[in-house]
Chains A and B, each alone.
Chain A
Amino acid sequence: MDDLHKTILDYVRREYIEEGDDRPLGVTTPLITGGIVDSFSMVSLKRFLEKKYTMKIPDAEATPEAFNTVESIAKLVERFGAVKV
């Protein structure tokens, strides 16, 4: 697992998973449809990514589908990471 995937995975585990919740979490685990991250919490996850990688993810691209797995989030970061703000 590369740094990008690991950073996102660690953040999701730290911020959105309850201590003692032993559900397996990997890069393909559904976050939105799996009920781990809801549409409101997605805003704080987006904010984290934008801060961490000094970039801007357009609101229109911040869809539940795009945020549904660590893998899809990483693709989003790779896509917009080059557009520095």
Chain B
Amino acid sequence: MYVAETIEEKAHWNIGSYEQAQREFRWEAAAKELGFGTGEPVNIGWHLSDRLCRLGLARKTALLWEGGDGRERTYTFDDLRVLSNTFASHFWRLGVLPGERVCLFLDRVPELYIGFVGLLKLGAVVQPLFSAFGEESLLTRLADAGTSVLVTQKKHLPKVRRIREKAAHLRHVVVVDAAGLALREGETPLDLDAEPSSAGFPDFPATPETPSVLHYTSGTTGQPKGAQHVHGSLVAQYLTAKWVLDLKGDDVYWCNADPGWVTGTSYGIIGPWSNGVTQVVLDAGFSARLWYDFMARRRVSVWYSAPTAIRLLMREGLDAVREHDLTSLRHLASVGEPLNPEAVHWSREAFGLPFHDTYWQTETGCIVISNYPGMPVKPGSMGKPFPGITAAVLDPGTHEPVAEPGRVGVIGLRPGWPSMIRGYWRNPEGYAKKFGNGWYLTGDRATRDADGYFWFVGRDDDVINTGGHLVGPFEIESALLEHPAVAESAAVARPDPVNMEVVKAFVTLKPGFAPGPDLELEIMNFVRKRLSPLAMPQEIAFVETLPRTRSGKIVRRVLRAQEFGEPVGDLSTLMED
């Protein structure tokens, strides 16, 4: 079934006609809109604040922030310009040099958004990390990046202090709400309201290839890898926000994603602000009524959400929607995992609008396949490649494009768009493995239909996509092995009606330990605290043995196939019990 907007509506979409945009597309045109190559700075931080003030938007609201406790703050683009300068000056005085990694380990507080802009102005490489990460996840990422400064808040400081000695490169810990707190050596306060404001700051003269943001992403093997983004990514993030999210000057935009993940920076900071759009942030956990109330009060017009959140909203039913005036909404999009057709139909019924599924990865930096405003939505489909992106379904063996519709293969993208990462941090071998026959290999399997729409099938590796976040089995298994009762472990995906997949762990126990609900809960909480709530197994199966190859390697695919009710495939290489 197609859900089509009317032709009248189509005329108002930024992208206009998809087919025409694709035919005439040139990235240079978007770069020109941003003033690249005309002597204007390339620095993303400057583009998100100073440039907008220069364009006459100084008094326009950049950020409307609400905390879960009822606190509210409003910042204009001029506030953002001055406060990001103030932030940059503070870190310059701390001796932070361009290229140094500075970690933002913060909830969705204003300092996260302002600090992101300020650190880019300074030329530092911003490393946002999800504040629910446990000690082990935090330490792994700080150690790999050689992070020299970490910015956090009081509630996360105990966690940071516990790993401080092991994070060898960490020179400073900056606390944004340190009032009344006894800080230790190497810890400094930063109160943006009390700091002497800097009207001007000499922005680092970034080129399009200057490193900007380091986001960590999980793979099947080894520890998470640092995806290295550059300032030139702005061109792609600006244009995809304009065309896919259809952001316009009078919009009020809400992106649900946390900037600890790439959606939260590409489309929770860079995309909307480079377009001069007001965005709203709610620093609170999920609640259907809270979200609807927030959108109604703030008159949100464009909403970028995730399938997990949409499925949770569906559970709450339509009554909760109808209690609120959500007539301000005009465009909805979703990212993180495939959007099931039911969610598209439900959003039509609930909001009078379909959610538009978008597809991309940490490595791509921007949306690469999408359903576009004005283009017919095929519910359940990923949509079509963004103009300027060459995407294909590849034969998994040869990496040659598959011509016939409906045949499953790996999604491949021709490298060369502005926001493609330039490598994994200190891991050139890992980066090289992501390419084959001249294509960037996404690791996602899909089909393409006769109309050119892509349809997601699944991952071609063992990475677990839970609630739109990728979790690596190796990291979970390593944490499990640190528990005194666990002898061996395997972590795989288990299907889940809300989160698409959740983590299920299979463990064998050391002598002297007996399986049972007490031990299961203890191990679950152990992993949650060490890694993160996302990585916590939601089920633990205590088993006698794990399937292994004759060379002794644990074969996760057998366990995963059992969970999904799929054929387990060739078992001839497995070790016999």
Contacts and interface: CB of A to CB of B under 8 A. Distances in A.
Contacts of B283: 35
A51 B287 contact: no
Main SS at interface, chain A = loop
B521 A47 contact: yes
B561 interface: no
26 contacts: A15-B525, A18-B155, A18-B159, A21-B154, A31-B285, A33-B287, A33-B290, A35-B68, A35-B284, A35-B285, A37-B285, A38-B132, A40-B466, A40-B528, A40-B534, A40-B536, A41-B536, A44-B525, A47-B520, A51-B517, A51-B521, A63-B316, A64-B286, A65-B287, A65-B289, A68-B287
Contacts of B517: 47, 51
Q: Which 4 A-B pairs have the closest CB atoms?
A: A40-B533, A20-B158, A32-B285, A41-B533
Contacts of A44: 521, 524-525, 528, 536
B451 interface: no
Contacts of B534: 40
Interface string B291-304: 00000000000000
B430 interface: no
B534 to A, nearest CB: 6
B482 to A, nearest CB: 18
Q: Chain B interface: which size bin?
A: 35 or more
A39 B312 contact: yes
A19 interface: yes
B67 to A, nearest CB: 9
B68 A34 contact: yes
A21 B156 CA distance: 8
Given A35-B285, A38-B132, A40-B536, A60 B315 contact: yes
B158 A51 contact: no
A39 B284 contact: no
Contact of A47 (B69, B159, B315, B524): B524
Nearest to A19: B158
Contact of B538 (A32, A37, A43): A43
B107 interface: yes
Contact of A34 (B69, B154, B288): B69
A30 interface: yes
Nearest to A31: B285
Given A34-B69, A43-B538, A64 B525 contact: no
Interface of B: 68-69, 107, 132, 154-159, 283-290, 312, 315-316, 466-467, 499, 517-518, 520-521, 524-525, 528, 533-534, 536, 538
A38 B284 CA distance: 10
Contacts of A48: 521
A47 B525 CA distance: 11
Contacts of A20: 157-158
Given A33-B286, A65-B316, 4 more contacts: A33-B68, A43-B524, A47-B517, A47-B520
Nearest to B315: A63
A59 to B, nearest CB: 8
A79 interface: no
Contacts of A60: 315
A47 B502 CA distance: 15
Contacts of A34: 68-69, 284-285
Contacts of A39: 285-286, 312, 467
A33 B155 contact: no
A20 B533 CA distance: 20
A19 B467 CA distance: 28
A47 B289 CA distance: 25
Contacts of B69: 34
A63 B528 CA distance: 20
A84 to B, nearest CB: 15
Nearest to B308: A39
B137 to A, nearest CB: 14
A56 B152 CA distance: 39
Contact of A38 (B285, B290, B520, B525): B285
Nearest to B289: A65
Contacts of B533: 38, 40-41
A23 B286 CA distance: 20
A58 to B, nearest CB: 12
Contacts of B288: 64-65
